[in-house]
Structure 1
Amino acid sequence: MRRYVMRGPVSLLVAAVVPLAVSALLLPLRGHLANTNVALLLVVAVVAVAAVGHRMAGAVAALSAAAWFDFFFTRPFERFTISNSSDITTALLLLAVGLAVSQLAARARHFEVVAVTDAGYLARIHEAAVMARSKPAPAVVDHVRAELVDLLGLRSCRFEHGSLLGRPPRLEPDGSIVVGRKTWATDELGMPPEEVELRVFGNGRYIGRFMLDAVPGSWPSRQALLVAVTLADQAATALESSTRPVKAA
């Protein structure tokens, strides 16, 4: 089954709603189910969100779970107030575990990509990661663009900042390519004849996309496509840092 990763503002909305929905389902059991068990079930919801989302989605789910646990399952009920010290501890642990899970899930997806790559691919990822944390965003984007051309056998590649026009084929986070609503058989057909978009997100927010124009007859491996997604993530790191407000000293 093709792996699905939630992106964009919708992922944050889902992350906030899922713990609320689980809390609503558990509400009839209030008084019959220990609060520690309720917290564990909410952690399961956070894990589910983090597994198909990103760091920010997992963090939002953890905050939502802690808030609704407080609201529905601690006295006084239906108020964001906790009077019992043990419930305070449970709520704090729920929040801490949920945040930790969201980070671990994001790291697990990264390591899943790295695990299927060889030394040459790892060198590309390492170099891009170092640049993402030490070079200006435009330099990182240019570096990733050049790497994508070489890695995927492209005729050309450009980065479009903030634009999202048309519905071109799309390279997904799991390394598959989707044309319309169907998965393109890259192993049998090679790259699509038209440009393929590789979207770039930072903390769930759409930033831009690389437009990949493949040389006819280009047949990149699934590993190469996964590495391309990881390289784009490094560009996202640099672009996100460049737009982050600087705190006054």
Structure 2
Amino acid sequence: MRINGEVTTYRSEVLTGAVLGPLVVCALLSPFRNSFDNANAALLLVLLIVAVASFGIRPAGVVAAVSSAVWFDFFLTVPFNRLTIDDSADVEATILLVVIGAAVTEIAIWGRRQQARASRQKGYLDGVLTASHAAAQGASVKDLIDQVEAELVAVLRIDRARFVAGDKRPHAPQLNHDGSVSRGGQVLKVERDGLPTNAEIELVVQHAGTTRGRFLLTAAARITRPDLEQRLVAVALADLVGAALAGQPATP
């Protein structure tokens, strides 16, 4: 709850800045409006919109764009101190403020999403490399399984992962080698509906075509929607355990 409160406060502060920032800038520029071109003021407001958009909150970027257009009109265009514009160039500048602001906001949000995705990918890769390094350094199979269980929980954002010996159960949900999730022969739409919450999902551990055991994945506390990339990382982690178990009993 505290985290949600902090997020709400953060969003409120950004939105407040989006509303008041253009007002302050235009008010400060108004005493000098006869000594500079309005195009320069518009560029300054665009910089402000970019700054707000960089926070990645779409409503804030749009609000900053609209607020900039309104106060640009009110303080810096003839007739002054009225929401009316007589000069066609100022009309164009006002419209461009809104259009550019909306466009910059979308670009900023896209950039933050790409950055977040790259960060997640690095985290997934680090998990696989850490497990691979542990296996290469001769870590015990039990230690490797413990580590992979923790990585599976982190990658899939589930509640629990545990390794058991034995073959898969035919009617249990399965996380397949191609990253799909199926149940009773029917492929589930994980991105839309999430992982099954009413049963443990089985991730078979195998090597060279021989089943060495399975991870039972629990996702009961909340709906989680790992994408295909995350599910394939989980499969790769299970394969590491399968290779480590090759030539050993299924139970470490």
Please report the TM-score for the alignment, with normalisation by the length of structure 1.
0.48
The structure with more radius of gyration = 2
> Of the two structures, which has the highest relative contact order with CA contacts closer than 8 Å and spacing of 6 or more?
1
